[in-house]
Chains A and B, each alone.
Chain A
């Protein structure tokens, strides 16, 4: 009588030990490795990518994960340093042995990660790579959908939006940070503005990390151009606006390249500021009910994380789009093999929160989906192009 349970247990353990290894592997979660700038100067924006990514993974796992397996995100802190990002991506591949990669935040760190991904033949999806001409790796896919030549398309979109409003600026004053992806756009815009007949009243550059904006504001005031291009990143826009306000100068038209949205949203000085976006939390972007829960979760978690602006916008949307690329690539190819995922992504359009995206152009860039938004009454509203503009909105001066 006592032999039976023993034999049962022996039988079960033999059965388990003879289970093929591929079956064990199928039960293990798929591990996606990435770094984010959780500390350092880029942390203020990278935290939005983290919240957005976590929400995506949660929802993905609820709907069954990838290829029947749950997904686990291994995220490490690159401290906003490209050299550290490079080391951590090596570690993720060789030490943590992750199945797939997801890109870090910001251009320099993405470039560092790209080299590692290329050496190891891994697909790398980045969500904030700002200089498309540098993305030479054929298995890199950009979720900040800005086309191959944003230095031309972005300023043209801006000038088109201004022309659509009826305004006709004759001169432009351009001031810009020397942060690589920012100065790249500013240099491109400089050429476009010249070609479109705008007189350049001022061109100034400052080092990233500059504290004193008073003299720059004074020179802008003296230039007195019809339009001001502010090549800013992070808090620089706010700092320059404050310096301009101090000397009672308010440009009629002011465009900002990559400002941190939170402080601008809360300041009356930033009224009518123009900038770029691929998604804003208003119609028609929010018309798809499939994303309502993710947006609500983001709003709640951003508030819990004490972010000054809890709205789901450009940064959160780009991060979300990156994860959608990965999901589509794996599901579409039915494989975790990087070459198959890459081949699928190049051949197919991906439905994302920012719209249908193609990745079949030079350096895997497709169209430029940047739109122009303006801060009106404390809210960012897309005003151009018309088909995605907030209903009834127009450019304010």
Chain B
């Protein structure tokens, strides 16, 4: 029988991994639900942000949290520019998948050209220091990831539910024609939403750099599980990606601790299938 210490530590690992899934999934889910775009380039922005964080820290000694001050506006503008381009050519949801896949492949090549395909690991204060919650060890980087995920979810929820702009975005996603009739400028709002999603990718990138070993090809390793997180939650929702992330993160981690690590990748998709089946039953 595994000890209580092992189970608690595995649970904690799942919670923190799930928070990161949720943070990445939030950006993907908002774009998908509110803009009707399956934005694969979100994963590319996450890793581009992670590599820039790594570079700033290793070359210039910039603290990853300080680099957020620069990365969030930069990626916000980048997301807005890409959205403006997609809108200019009236890209359909399916074509957005192809276009953003192309962007992702290009970014992967760019990362490989600049940083080579070899693995990179950023040493930081946040990963080297840890604290204990009972018998559970938590690194500062994990706590930071959790904090950032909660902050991002809270901010997204507040914006969508408590601001006029957020209400307009939801209305536009619900029925674009009626929203336009009420004077809502859907294209302009879409640019702001895309900017917000890309800014979230920048935050997630910092968390990835803090916790994981980087390699350009890793971009695609996150796609499957994050899509599962997004689908477990609900598209366009601020809260459910984090819940989906936690469900999948904890399930994966407990499977590793109790059964075998080799079963863990199946868990995300088994959970997804079960939830989709149960939801179908609800309808």
Asked if B264 contacts A210 (CB within 8 A), the reply is yes
Using CB atoms, name the residue of chain B closest to A216: B261
Check B9–A47 contact: CB distance below 8 A. Answer: no
Chain B neighbourhood of A210, CB < 8 A: 261, 264-265
How many A residues touch B, CB cutoff 8 Å? 43
- Are A41 and B6 in contact, with the CB atoms below 8 A? no
Tell me whether A263 and B121 are in contact (CB under 8 A): yes
Does A351 belong to the interface (CB within 8 Å)? no
User: Would B117 and A47 count as touching, CB distance under 8 A?
Assistant: yes
Inter-chain CA distance A64–B252, complex, in Å, is 59
CA A39 – CA B92 in complex, angstroms? 30
Query: In chain B, what residue has the closest Cβ to A214?
Result: B13
Please report the C-alpha to C-alpha distance between residue A178 and residue B118 in the assembled complex, in whole angstroms.
Answer: 21
Is B213's CB under 8 angstroms from A248's CB? no
* Residue B84 interfacial (CB < 8 Å): no
Nearest CB of B to A46, in Å: 8
In contact, A211 and B261 (Cβ under 8 angstroms) = no
Cα A178 to Cα B265 in complex, Å, equals 13
B260 touching A218 by the CB < 8 A rule?
Answer: no
Residues of B within 8 A of A219 (CB): 2, 6, 256-257
Q: Name the one of A41, A46, A205, A242 contacting B260, with C-beta atoms under 8 angstroms.
A: A205
Q: Is A215 an interface residue, CB under 8 A from the partner?
A: yes
**Contact between B261 and A44 (Cβ–Cβ < 8 Å)?**
no
Give the residue name and chain of the B residue nearest to A249 (CB): B137
Cβ contacts under 8 Å, A44 to chain B = 116-119, 215
Within 189-229 of A, Cβ neighbours of B (below 8 Å) are at 204-207, 209-212, 214-216, 218-219, 221-222
B118 touches A247 (CB 8 A): no
Binds B, one of A85-93, A300-308, A317-325, A366-374: A300-308
Across the interface, which residues of B come within 8 angstroms of A267, CB to CB? 121, 123
User: Nearest chain-A residue to B265 (Cβ)?
Assistant: A207
Q: Is there an interface contact between A308 and B6, defined as CB atoms closer than 8 Å?
A: no
Residues of chain A within 8 A of B119, CB atoms compared: 44, 234-235, 238, 260, 262-263, 308
Q: Do B10 and A214 touch across chains, with their CB atoms under 8 A apart?
A: yes
Known contacts A204-B261, A209-B221, A306-B116; decide if A214 and B253 are in contact (CB<8 Å). yes
Contact between A307 and B257, CB atoms less than 8 A apart: no
Q: Which residues of A contact B3 (CB under 8 A)?
A: 222
Q: Is B70 an interface residue (CB 8 A)?
A: no
CB A77 to nearest CB in B, in angstroms, measures 11
CB of B96 within 8 Å of the partner chain: no
**Cβ contacts under 8 Å, A205 to chain B:** 260-262
Q: Does B36 contact A (CB under 8 A)?
A: no
What A residues does B116 contact at CB under 8 A? 43-44, 47, 305-307
Residues of B within 8 A of A234 (CB): 119, 215
Interface flag for A40 (CB, 8 Å): yes
- Tell me the minimal C-beta distance from B197 to chain A in angstroms: 22
Give 12 A-B contacts (CB < 8 Å), ordered by A residue.
Answer: A47-B118, A80-B217, A207-B265, A212-B17, A212-B252, A214-B253, A218-B257, A219-B6, A222-B2, A235-B213, A263-B119, A305-B116
Closest 4 pairs (CB-CB, A-B)? A43-B117, A214-B13, A215-B256, A44-B118
